[in-house]
Protein backbone atom coordinates (compact mmCIF):
# COMPACT_ATOMS: atom_id res chain seq x y z
CA UNK A 1 0.00 0.00 0.00
CA UNK A 2 1.32 3.41 -0.88
CA UNK A 3 1.82 6.28 1.53
CA UNK A 4 -0.35 9.39 1.27
CA UNK A 5 1.38 12.73 1.26
CA UNK A 6 0.95 15.03 4.23
CA UNK A 7 -1.33 17.44 2.39
CA UNK A 8 -3.80 14.66 1.46
CA UNK A 9 -3.78 13.31 5.02
CA UNK A 10 -4.39 16.84 6.36
CA UNK A 11 -7.32 17.34 3.95
CA UNK A 12 -8.85 13.99 4.94
CA UNK A 13 -8.44 14.90 8.63
CA UNK A 14 -10.08 18.29 8.02
CA UNK A 15 -13.01 16.64 6.17
CA UNK A 16 -13.54 14.11 8.96
CA UNK A 17 -13.28 16.86 11.58
CA UNK A 18 -15.84 18.98 9.68
CA UNK A 19 -18.17 16.02 9.42
CA UNK A 20 -17.90 15.38 13.16
CA UNK A 21 -18.59 19.05 13.95
CA UNK A 22 -21.54 19.07 11.53
CA UNK A 23 -22.85 15.88 13.07
CA UNK A 24 -22.94 17.48 16.52
CA UNK A 25 -24.67 20.58 15.18
CA UNK A 26 -27.25 18.54 13.24
CA UNK A 27 -27.83 16.28 16.24
CA UNK A 28 -28.55 19.28 18.51
CA UNK A 29 -30.94 20.81 15.95
CA UNK A 30 -32.66 17.48 15.33
CA UNK A 31 -33.16 16.92 19.06
CA UNK A 32 -34.61 20.42 19.38
CA UNK A 33 -37.01 19.83 16.48
CA UNK A 34 -37.97 16.41 17.87
CA UNK A 35 -38.63 17.80 21.37
CA UNK A 36 -40.74 20.62 19.90
CA UNK A 37 -42.70 18.09 17.82
CA UNK A 38 -43.28 15.83 20.83
CA UNK A 39 -44.41 18.76 23.01
CA UNK A 40 -46.78 20.07 20.32
CA UNK A 41 -48.15 16.59 19.70
CA UNK A 42 -48.72 15.96 23.39
CA UNK A 43 -50.42 19.34 23.84
CA UNK A 44 -52.68 18.69 20.85
CA UNK A 45 -53.55 15.23 22.14
CA UNK A 46 -54.23 16.61 25.61
CA UNK A 47 -56.46 19.35 24.16
CA UNK A 48 -58.33 16.75 22.14
CA UNK A 49 -58.92 14.58 25.20
CA UNK A 50 -60.00 17.43 27.41
CA UNK A 51 -62.17 19.29 24.96
CA UNK A 52 -63.31 17.47 21.85
CA UNK A 53 -63.65 13.90 23.11
CA UNK A 54 -65.44 15.02 26.28
CA UNK A 55 -67.94 16.99 24.20
CA UNK A 56 -68.43 14.09 21.79
CA UNK A 57 -68.99 11.56 24.57
CA UNK A 58 -71.42 13.84 26.36
CA UNK A 59 -73.29 14.47 23.10
CA UNK A 60 -73.39 10.75 22.35
CA UNK A 61 -74.77 9.92 25.82
CA UNK A 62 -77.40 12.69 25.59
CA UNK A 63 -78.46 11.46 22.13
CA UNK A 64 -78.71 7.84 23.28
CA UNK A 65 -80.71 8.81 26.36
CA UNK A 66 -83.05 10.98 24.27
CA UNK A 67 -83.56 8.22 21.71
CA UNK A 68 -84.16 5.64 24.43
CA UNK A 69 -86.76 7.79 26.16
CA UNK A 70 -88.43 8.58 22.83
CA UNK A 71 -88.49 4.87 22.02
CA UNK A 72 -89.98 4.00 25.38
CA UNK A 73 -92.59 6.76 25.23
CA UNK A 74 -93.59 5.88 21.70
CA UNK A 75 -93.63 2.17 22.45
CA UNK A 76 -91.05 1.52 19.69
CA UNK A 77 -89.72 -1.67 21.19
CA UNK A 78 -88.28 -2.89 17.86
CA UNK A 79 -85.71 -0.05 17.79
CA UNK A 80 -84.93 -0.55 21.49
CA UNK A 81 -84.35 -4.27 20.94
CA UNK A 82 -82.05 -3.57 17.99
CA UNK A 83 -80.01 -1.22 20.20
CA UNK A 84 -79.80 -3.95 22.87
CA UNK A 85 -81.40 -1.55 25.34
CA UNK A 86 -84.21 -3.86 26.27
CA UNK A 87 -84.67 -7.54 25.86
CA UNK A 88 -87.88 -9.26 24.91
CA UNK A 89 -90.14 -7.14 27.10
CA UNK A 90 -93.80 -7.66 26.91
CA UNK A 91 -96.06 -4.75 26.13
CA UNK A 92 -97.12 -4.64 29.78
CA UNK A 93 -93.51 -4.19 30.95
CA UNK A 94 -92.93 -1.45 28.38
CA UNK A 95 -96.12 0.25 29.53
CA UNK A 96 -94.84 0.21 33.13
CA UNK A 97 -91.59 1.83 32.01
CA UNK A 98 -93.48 4.44 30.00
CA UNK A 99 -95.75 5.15 32.96
CA UNK A 100 -92.75 5.57 35.28
CA UNK A 101 -91.19 8.06 32.84
CA UNK A 102 -94.48 9.92 32.56
CA UNK A 103 -94.94 10.05 36.34
CA UNK A 104 -91.40 11.37 36.77
CA UNK A 105 -91.29 13.88 33.92
CA UNK A 106 -94.86 14.08 32.68
CA UNK A 107 -95.32 17.71 33.62
CA UNK A 108 -92.17 18.74 31.81
CA UNK A 109 -93.11 16.65 28.78
CA UNK A 110 -96.61 18.14 28.68
CA UNK A 111 -95.28 21.69 29.12
CA UNK A 112 -92.74 21.12 26.37
CA UNK A 113 -95.42 19.82 24.01
CA UNK A 114 -97.78 22.68 24.90
CA UNK A 115 -95.03 25.26 24.37
CA UNK A 116 -94.11 23.72 21.02
CA UNK A 117 -97.74 23.69 19.90
CA UNK A 118 -98.24 27.30 21.01
CA UNK A 119 -95.23 28.34 18.93
CA UNK A 120 -96.63 26.44 15.97
CA UNK A 121 -100.05 28.14 16.40
CA UNK A 122 -98.41 31.58 16.51
CA UNK A 123 -96.38 30.78 13.41
CA UNK A 124 -99.52 29.59 11.59
CA UNK A 125 -101.38 32.76 12.64
CA UNK A 126 -98.58 34.90 11.19
CA UNK A 127 -98.61 32.92 7.95
CA UNK A 128 -102.42 33.16 7.71
CA UNK A 129 -102.29 36.91 8.28
CA UNK A 130 -99.58 37.30 5.65
CA UNK A 131 -101.50 35.18 3.11
CA UNK A 132 -104.72 37.08 3.84
CA UNK A 133 -103.01 40.43 3.41
CA UNK A 134 -101.21 39.36 0.25
CA UNK A 135 -104.50 38.15 -1.33
CA UNK A 136 -106.20 41.46 -0.64
CA UNK A 137 -103.70 43.40 -2.76
| Lowest pLDDT segment from 27-31, 40-44, 53-57, 70-74 | 70-74
CB 72 within 8 A of CB 94: yes
CA separation for the pair 116, 114 (Å, rounded): 5
Overall residue count recorded for the chain in this entry: 137
The DSSP secondary-structure symbol of 31 reads H
**pLDDT score of 83:** 63
**pLDDT score of 98:** 78
pLDDT tens digits along 69-94: 777 777 676 766 666 665 565 667 77
Mean pLDDT of the chain: 82
CA separation for the pair 108, 96 (Å, rounded): 19
pLDDT at 15 over 80: yes
Higher pLDDT, 6 or 94: 6
**pLDDT score of 35:** 92
Highest mean pLDDT among 21-25, 71-75, 80-84, 122-126: 122-126
Amino acid sequence: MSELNEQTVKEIDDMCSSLEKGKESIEKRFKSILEEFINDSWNNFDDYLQNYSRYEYERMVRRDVDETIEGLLSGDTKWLKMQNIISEHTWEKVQKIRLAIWETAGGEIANSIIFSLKEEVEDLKKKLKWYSESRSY
